[in-house]
């Protein structure tokens, strides 16, 4: 098999074989020191040049950090290592770039929202409060949001669950493929389009009035694909042996699904539904088109305009005065709090109910 | 070209779990050393400590010394990148880069280490593919993706890729376990040729293979599941397979366990 | 009807459920039971209902659009005006989406240009750089970013972020003002650029999550091959991770684009809209489809709403195409990587 290989061994181009394993390295602590140094210099430049925005200080520091690490590494460690360091520092900077907005957003919401956030705020409506007056609260909006989200769940959860069961337990052919594809596409429908759809058929064509129910229908369209996807994932995790064991005992398929498959996956399904609720509870656009809004308490979602938490924030912001801003931030705090709690509980359930694997 | 490896007092861990304990041995240059032993005895882990691939695994760490002609691989100031450049490795599953052509696969290691002229690259690629007994089969389709080759050809492509950078040592982690018997034979022949130029260490499950290709054989074992693996003995292959000095080795070789 | 309805193919419901051989065996005894038939009917019915909803969305929007376009005296695609009530033209409705197309595309492109590199960076950070104990909490933080409602992003963007951008914008104007794109006259920076920055933050999580999934799927043995050749971490990423993940990054970006195109309330809160096309992205003005619908809705009469629905249909079709393409790329990638595994 050996044809001929008479060429002299050795690396081409006369480059020396790297017999030495050692390489000059920057000390381990150098990235930290460079980071601190860049931060200090960045702030210094910012102060000296009188740049009023902290954003710019940060950007200057980040650029300095990336540049200095690269140059230092290039001189001490050589080109390849320098490129590696460049990538590392850029990736770190990218990560920090993402954390800054989240931290700022949460900080500002808590800081500004806590001004008027109290028991009174939670238990009163805006019925007798003028836009530019202080006072009032979000009671009517909380009721509206809870009812709309609840109704949306009543529509979306059964359809979503059954569709997921169909896809995992029955679906094989073209219909299943089409459903899978359009569920994916449906995830990307802009919320305002869902709102426009319900607007066109429920309000413009069938002639009904604005109501919490109309909003709930649009929200359910947004919720369905999320429920389908998460349920599908969970059902797929149920081991086939369980199904076969049950079927082998002579249990019909539908009872197997109801009594064996669903209970096994119920933790994950609950998590998925709660995350879907968290997603739609913050939707403003469809509510804006379909629920209209009212400063008064309306406990009947099927009759007339209702309040809604996200819409409340939007309107208080639009009123354009300090009292409105304060209420907007406080309502934002309430909304974020609600969604974060949902998220945490959902994840808690997921962890607690996670199918125990072998290891 | 080829270098000697001296290991002394080597322990390797996965997190808090000790995978291998207190291993000392010498690997002779220009020879084939085979590691055999039951699954889980740490022979693959040990192999990966020889080019500092073990520490890539999350939680992986190593204590002890591995001397390559007097240079400690784990000494301070040693760059693991240089270590891996000097000590090549071939894996259990053929792993050519799926997005690269056959040519680019072989040239990948060289391109990392600076710029070469096209003609230089051509020479090295041809030489390496010939060295891996693959040249005749692929010379007309060097620009096709490497993933289009058969399993055995892919593995020889990976060997070509490893020897293209002219390493001192070639580590092979069960290189034939995913291959059919004919491809296995081709690789075994190749190992016989490569030992003229490289120090070769091969981990194998297959005792006949160890007997066929290796000059020296090391037997690893573990006291019980969860216990660290240990080196039981290392000796000339002929002696290990005919008259080992430890009873456990004989039991393993004669198929009484493992 | 001027605009083609984008109706999903109506599937034939009967021959669709070809069972696998294993299922045929399983179903041999059970299929005729009434319980099984009812249950199958219900679950298949839900799937069909879902398709029907998608078809209905397209059909109803298209119908109202046809009503709106019948009386429009302007060209729907080229008119730089939104006056369905005909206030400035003796009651003759004139409206078109030219400004909205421009604003939507510009703000989404800005968002993508900022978000994609950052998101890929974060995804790499989580999959390849972060210390192992940190990776999960960081992924969780990114998920939190996705959980924040868009109205809160809007509020934060308008009150906190926008005032902080004047300095950056003046700086851009000083050095890049000559391009015309970065001219800044001063004033509240509620421009397409600000919208783009905000959208970038909002689409960061989805791009990050999809890219991270793909990066984590890179077979370990491919990375080890690169490492064993003596590659640095960055070289491993360039040789083994990025080529493998390229199509994943593309589809992730398109999913993000879909989000950015349709984002409503955050844009409506931050942007100070106007119906002119402004070459500079830093000066206020412009508008997007979704923002225009939200802002104009409360003062629109019934015909005005139809006009807004017409613009909504265009948005629907665009997002449908973008999302569909992204999903197709992902699906194809799965087959490809499956064949190699």
Candidate from A175, A197, A254 with C-beta closest to C13: A175
CB contact under 8 A, B93 and C221: yes
- Identify all chain B residues contacting A10, using CB atoms and an 8 Å cutoff: 166
Residue C235 sits at the chain B interface (C-beta within 8 Å) = yes
For C140-188, write each residue's pLDDT tens digit: 888 888 889 999 999 999 999 988 888 888 888 888 888 878 888 877 8
Question: Is the residue at C274 inside a domain?
Answer: yes
Residue B130 sits at the chain A interface (C-beta within 8 Å) = yes
Same-domain status, C183 and C322: yes
* H-run or E-run covering B124: helix B118-131
C42 within 8 A of A162, measured Cβ to Cβ? yes
Same-domain status, C105 and C204: yes
Residue corresponding to tokens 């619908």: C293
**Mean per-residue pLDDT, A327-350:** 91
pLDDT at A95 over 50: yes
Which residues lie below 8 Å from residue A30, measured CB to CB, with a gap of 6+?
A69, A72
Which residue of chain B has the CA closest to A84?
B81
- Identify all chain C residues contacting B56, using CB atoms and an 8 Å cutoff: 224, 227
Nearest C-alpha of chain B: how many angstroms from A77?
10
Candidate from C149, C232, C312 with C-beta closest to A84: C232
Same-domain status, C164 and C310: yes
What SS3 class is residue B88?
A: strand
pLDDT at A23 over 80: no
Same-domain status, C156 and C48: no
Nearest by Cα to B170 from A291, C228, A236: C228
Which residue of chain C has the CA closest to B107?
C229
Nearest C-alpha of chain A: how many angstroms from C97?
16
Ramachandran assignment for B15, one of left (phi > 0), alpha (psi -120 to 50 degrees), beta (any other)? left
Count of all residues that appear for chain B in the document: 258
* H-run or E-run covering A313: helix A309-318
Question: Is the residue at C6 inside a domain?
Answer: no
Same-domain status, C56 and C180: no
Which residues lie below 8 Å from residue B39, measured CB to CB, with a gap of 6+?
B205
What SS3 class is residue B66?
A: strand
For residue B62, list its beta bridge partners. Answer: B12
Candidate from C42, C53, C293 with C-beta closest to A162: C42
Cα B178 to chain center, whole Å?
Answer: 15
The CA distance from C45 to A162, in Å, is 8
CATH of the domain at C182: 1.10.3720.10
Same-domain status, C196 and C294: yes
The CA distance from B136 to A224, in Å, is 58
CB contact under 8 A, B84 and C229: yes
Sign of the dihedral through C-alpha C155, C159, C163, C164 = negative
Residue C60 sits at the chain A interface (C-beta within 8 Å) = yes
What is the residue range of C151's domain? 97-332
Residue corresponding to tokens 């009188």: A50
- pLDDT band per the 50, 70, 90 thresholds, residue A11: very low
C residues 66-105 lying closer than 8 A (beta carbon) to A: none
Candidate from C54, C265, C298 with C-beta closest to A182: C54
Question: Is the residue at C8 inside a domain?
Answer: no
Side-chain-side CA neighbours of A90 within 13 Å: the count stands at: 16
- Identify all chain C residues contacting B51, using CB atoms and an 8 Å cutoff: 228
Which residue of chain A has the CA closest to B76?
A22
Q: What is the pTM of this model?
A: 0.85
For residue B14, list its beta bridge partners. Answer: B17, B60
CB contact under 8 A, C141 and A102: yes
Sign of the dihedral through C-alpha B13, B16, B18, B24 = positive
Candidate from B68, B73, B136 with C-beta closest to A3: B136
CB contact under 8 A, B166 and A1: no
Q: How many domains does chain C have?
A: 2
Q: Which two tokens stand for residue C140?
A: 């969780």
- Identify all chain C residues contacting B148, using CB atoms and an 8 Å cutoff: none
C93 within 8 A of C83, measured Cβ to Cβ? yes
Q: What is the dihedral of CA A286, A291, A292, A298, to 10 degrees?
A: -150
Residue B197 sits at the chain A interface (C-beta within 8 Å) = yes
- pLDDT band per the 50, 70, 90 thresholds, residue A171: confident
**Residue A124 CB neighbour total at 10 angstroms:** 17
Question: Is the residue at C92 inside a domain?
Answer: no
Question: Is the residue at C143 inside a domain?
Answer: yes
CB contact under 8 A, B77 and A22: yes
**pLDDT beneath 50, residues of chain C:** 1-17, 19, 25-30, 336-341
pLDDT at A8 over 60: no
Which residue of chain C has the CA closest to B51?
C228
Residue C229 sits at the chain B interface (C-beta within 8 Å) = yes
Same-domain status, C47 and C121: no
- Identify all chain C residues contacting A209, using CB atoms and an 8 Å cutoff: none
Structure confidence at residue B16 (pLDDT) = 87
Which residue of chain B has the CA closest to C130?
B58
Nearest C-alpha of chain B: how many angstroms from C338?
12
Burial C16-40 (b: 16+ CB within 10 A, else e): bbeeeeebeebbeebeeeeebeebb
The CA distance from A163 to A169, in Å, is 10
Residue to mutate among B57, B84, B178, with most C CBs inside 10 A, is B84
Which residue of chain C has the CA closest to B164?
C229
Instruction: List the subunits that have 3+ CB pairs under 8 angstroms with C.
Output: A, B
* H-run or E-run covering B157: helix B151-164
Question: Is the residue at C4 inside a domain?
Answer: no
Which residue of chain A has the CA closest to C168?
A56
Candidate from C36, C160, C319 with C-beta closest to A108: C160
Nearest C-alpha of chain C: how many angstroms from B148?
10
Candidate from C121, C290, C326 with C-beta closest to A95: C121
Strands of B199-203's sheet in order across: B71-72, B60-68, B5-14, B17-27, B229-236, B216-222, B32-36, B199-203, B169-173, B87-90
- Identify all chain C residues contacting B147, using CB atoms and an 8 Å cutoff: 340
B:C CB pairs within 8 Å: 67
Same-domain status, C216 and C256: yes
Question: Is the residue at C20 inside a domain?
Answer: no
For C22-36, write each residue's pLDDT tens digit: 555 444 444 568 888
Which residue of chain C has the CA closest to A274?
C147
Same-domain status, C173 and C277: yes
**pLDDT beneath 70, residues of chain B:** 1, 258
Q: What percent of chain A has pLDDT over 70?
A: 92
Structure confidence at residue B258 (pLDDT) = 60
Complex prediction ipTM: 0.86
Residue to mutate among A199, A235, A275, with most C CBs inside 10 A, is A199
Angle between helices B151-164 and B181-194 in degrees, nearest 10:
20
Candidate from B68, B121, B166 with C-beta closest to A17: B166
Same-domain status, C197 and C268: yes
Same-domain status, C33 and C180: no
Instruction: List the subunits that have 3+ CB pairs under 8 angstroms with A.
Output: B, C
CB contact under 8 A, C258 and A188: yes
The CA distance from A130 to C298, in Å, is 20
Candidate from C151, C164, C268 with C-beta closest to A282: C151
Nearest by Cα to B148 from B219, B74, B97, B188: B97
CB contact under 8 A, B99 and C243: yes
Cα-trace Rg, chain A? 29
C residues 21-50 lying closer than 8 A (beta carbon) to A: 23, 26-27, 30, 33, 35-36, 38-40, 42-50
C-alpha angle A297/A298/A300, rounded to 5°?
155
- Identify all chain C residues contacting A257, using CB atoms and an 8 Å cutoff: 39
Q: Which two tokens stand for residue A4?
A: 């001929």
**Residue A267 CB neighbour total at 10 angstroms:** 17
Cα-trace Rg, chain C? 25
Question: Is the residue at C36 inside a domain?
Answer: yes
B147 within 8 A of B100, measured Cβ to Cβ? no
DSSP for B7-30, please give it. EEEEEEEETTEEEEEEEEEEE-TT
Nearest by Cα to C6 from C48, C67, C47, C54: C54
Residue C249 sits at the chain A interface (C-beta within 8 Å) = no
Same-domain status, C56 and C162: no
The CA distance from C246 to C241, in Å, is 9
Candidate from A87, A159, A176 with C-beta closest to C16: A176
């Amino acid at each position: 098999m050996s044809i001929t290989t008479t060429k002299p061994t050795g690396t081409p181009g006369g480059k020396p074989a790297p017999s030495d394993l050692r390489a000059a390295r920057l000390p381990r602590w150098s990235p930290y020191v460079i980071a601190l140094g860049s931060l200090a210099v960045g702030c210094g430049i910012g102060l000296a040049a009188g740049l009023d925005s902290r954003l710019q200080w940060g950007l200057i520091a980040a650029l300095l950090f990336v540049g200095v690490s690269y140059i230092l590494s290039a001189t001490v460690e050589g080109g390849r290592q320098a490129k590696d360091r460049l990538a590392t520092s850029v990736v770190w900077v990218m990560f920090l770039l993402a954390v800054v907005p989240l931290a700022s957003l949460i900080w500002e919401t808590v800081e500004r929202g806590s001004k008027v956030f109290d028991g009174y705020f939670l238990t009163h409506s805006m019925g007798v409060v003028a836009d530019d007056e202080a006072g009032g609260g979000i009671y009517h909006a909380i009721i509206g949001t809870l009812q709309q989200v609840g109704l949306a769940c009543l529509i979306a959860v059964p359809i979503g669950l059954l569709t997921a069961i169909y896809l995992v337990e029955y679906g094989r052919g073209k219909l299943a493929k089409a459903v899978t594809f359009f569920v994916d596409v449906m995830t990307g429908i802009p919320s305002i389009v869902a709102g426009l759809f319900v607007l066109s058929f429920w309000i413009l064509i069938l002639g009904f009035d604005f109501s919490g129910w109309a909003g709930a229908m649009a929200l359910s369209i947004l919720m369905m694909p999320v429920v389908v996807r998460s349920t599908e994932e969970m059902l797929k995790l149920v081991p086939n042996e369980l199904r076969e064991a049950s079927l082998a005992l002579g249990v019909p398929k539908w009872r197997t699904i109801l009594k064996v498959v669903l209970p096994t996956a119920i933790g994950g399904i609950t998590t998925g539904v709660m995350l879907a609720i968290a997603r739609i509870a913050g939707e403003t656009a469809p509510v804006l088109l379909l629920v209209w809004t009212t400063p008064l308490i309306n406990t009947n979602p099927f009759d007339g305009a209702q309040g809604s938490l996200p819409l409340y924030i939007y309107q208080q912001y639009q009123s354009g005065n300090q009292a409105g801003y304060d209420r907007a931030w406080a309502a934002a705090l309430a909304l974020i709090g609600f969604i974060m709690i949902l998220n945490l509980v959902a994840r808690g359930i997921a962890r607690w109910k996670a199918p125990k694997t072998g290891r | 070209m080829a270098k000697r490896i001296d290991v002394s007092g080597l322990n390797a861990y996965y997190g808090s779990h000790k995978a291998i304990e207190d291993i000392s041995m010498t690997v002779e240059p220009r020879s084939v050393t085979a590691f055999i032993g039951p699954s889980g005895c740490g022979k693959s882990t040990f192999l990966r400590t020889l080019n500092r691939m073990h520490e890539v695994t999350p939680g992986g760490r190593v204590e002890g010394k591995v001397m390559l002609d007097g240079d400690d691989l784990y000494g301070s100031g040693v760059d693991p990148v240089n270590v891996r450049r000097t000590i090549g490795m071939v894996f259990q599953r053929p792993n050519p880069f799926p997005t690269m052509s056959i040519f680019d696969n072989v040239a990948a290691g060289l391109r990392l280490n600076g710029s070469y002229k096209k003609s230089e690259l051509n020479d090295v690629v041809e030489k390496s593919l010939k060295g891996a007994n693959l040249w005749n089969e692929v010379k007309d389709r060097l620009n096709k993706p490497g993933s289009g080759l058969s399993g055995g050809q892919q593995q020889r492509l990976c060997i070509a890729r490893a020897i293209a950078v002219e390493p001192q040592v070639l580590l092979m982690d069960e290189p034939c376990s995913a291959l059919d018997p004919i491809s296995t034979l081709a690789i075994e022949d190749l190992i016989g040729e490569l030992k003229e130029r490289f120090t070769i260490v091969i981990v194998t499950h297959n005792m006949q293979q160890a007997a066929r290709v290796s000059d020296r054989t090391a037997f690893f074992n573990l006291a019980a599941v969860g216990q660290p693996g240990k080196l039981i003995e290392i000796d000339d292959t002929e002696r290990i397979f005919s008259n080992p000095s430890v009873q456990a080795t004989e039991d393993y070789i004669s198929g009484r366990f493992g | 009807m001027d605009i083609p309805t984008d109706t999903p193919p109506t599937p034939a419901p009967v021959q669709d459920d070809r069972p696998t051989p294993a299922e045929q065996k399983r179903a041999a005894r059970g299929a005729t039971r009434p319980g099984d038939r009812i249950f199958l009917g219900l679950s298949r019915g839900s799937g069909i209902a879902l398709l029907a909803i998608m078809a209905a969305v397209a059909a109803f929007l298209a119908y109202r659009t046809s009503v709106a376009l019948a009386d429009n005296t302007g060209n729907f695609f080229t008119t730089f005006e939104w006056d369905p009530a005909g206030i400035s033209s003796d009651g003759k409705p004139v409206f078109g989406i030219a400004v909205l197309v421009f604003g939507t595309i510009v703000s989404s492109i800005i968002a993508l240009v900022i978000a994609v590199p950052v998101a890929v960076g974060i995804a790499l950070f989580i999959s390849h750089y972060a210390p192992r104990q940190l990776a999960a909490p960081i992924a969780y933080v990114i998920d939190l970013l996705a959980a924040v409602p868009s109205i809160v992003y809007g509020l934060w963007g308008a009150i906190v972020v926008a005032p902080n951008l004047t300095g950056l914008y003046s700086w851009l104007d000083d050095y890049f003002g000559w391009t015309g794109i970065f001219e800044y006259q001063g004033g509240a920076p509620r421009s397409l650029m600000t919208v783009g920055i905000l959208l970038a933050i909002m689409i960061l999580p989805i791009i990050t999550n999809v890219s991270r999934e793909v990066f984590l799927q890179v077979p370990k043995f491919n990375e080890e091959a690169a490492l064993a050749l003596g590659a640095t971490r960055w070289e491993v990423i360039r040789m083994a991770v990025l080529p493998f993940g390229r199509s994943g990054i593309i589809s992730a970006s398109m999913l993000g684009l879909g989000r950015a195109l349709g984002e409503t309330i955050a844009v409506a809160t931050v942007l100070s809209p106007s119906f002119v096309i402004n070459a500079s992205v830093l000066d206020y003005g412009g508008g997007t489809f979704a923002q225009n619908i939200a802002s104009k809705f409360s003062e629109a009469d019934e015909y005005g709403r139809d006009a807004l629905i017409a613009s909504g249909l265009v948005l629907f079709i665009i997002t449908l195409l973008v999302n569909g393409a992204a999903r197709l790329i992902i699906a194809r990638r799965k087959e490809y990587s499956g064949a190699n595994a």
